Amino acid sequence: MEASEFDKLMRALRWPHNATPEFVLNAVSKVRRFIDFDQTIYFGRKGGIGKTLRGRPIRGFLSQEPFIVQTWNPSGAMFFFDANRDFPQPLLIITPPGFSVERSDGGCDWGKDFDAIGICNKMIIDDWAEENPPVIRSTGSEIVLPN
The confidence score (pLDDT) of residue 46 equals 77
Say if pTM beats, i.e. exceeds, 0.85. Answer: yes
pLDDT in tens, 110-145: 899 999 999 999 999 998 877 766 689 999 999 999
The confidence score (pLDDT) of residue 60 equals 93
pLDDT at 94 over 90: yes
Say how many domains are in the chain: 1
The confidence score (pLDDT) of residue 95 equals 95
- Measured distance CA(87)–CA(91) in Å, rounded: 13
Burial of 100 (0-12, 13-18, 19+ CB in 10 A): exposed
**CA 18 → CA 4, 21, 23, 44, distances in Å?**
21, 10, 10, 28
pLDDT at 1 over 70: no
Containing H/E element for 111? strand 108-113
The confidence score (pLDDT) of residue 45 equals 75
Task: Confirm if 84 and 59 have CB atoms less than 8 A apart.
Answer: no
More confident residue, 103 or 120: 120
The confidence score (pLDDT) of residue 32 equals 96
- Measured distance CA(117)–CA(113) in Å, rounded: 8
Task: Read off the pLDDT band of 106 (50, 70, 90).
Answer: confident
pLDDT at 79 over 80: yes
The 3-state DSSP class for residue 15 equals strand
- Measured distance CA(55)–CA(2) in Å, rounded: 36
- Measured distance CA(9)–CA(28) in Å, rounded: 10
Domain that holds residue 124: 3-144
**CA 2 → CA 77, 106, 116, 122, distances in Å?**
28, 34, 10, 17
Task: Read off the pLDDT band of 107 (50, 70, 90).
Answer: confident
3-class DSSP string for 34-46: EEECECCCECHHH
pLDDT in tens, 21-68: 999 999 999 999 999 999 899 887 778 888 999 999 999 999 999 999
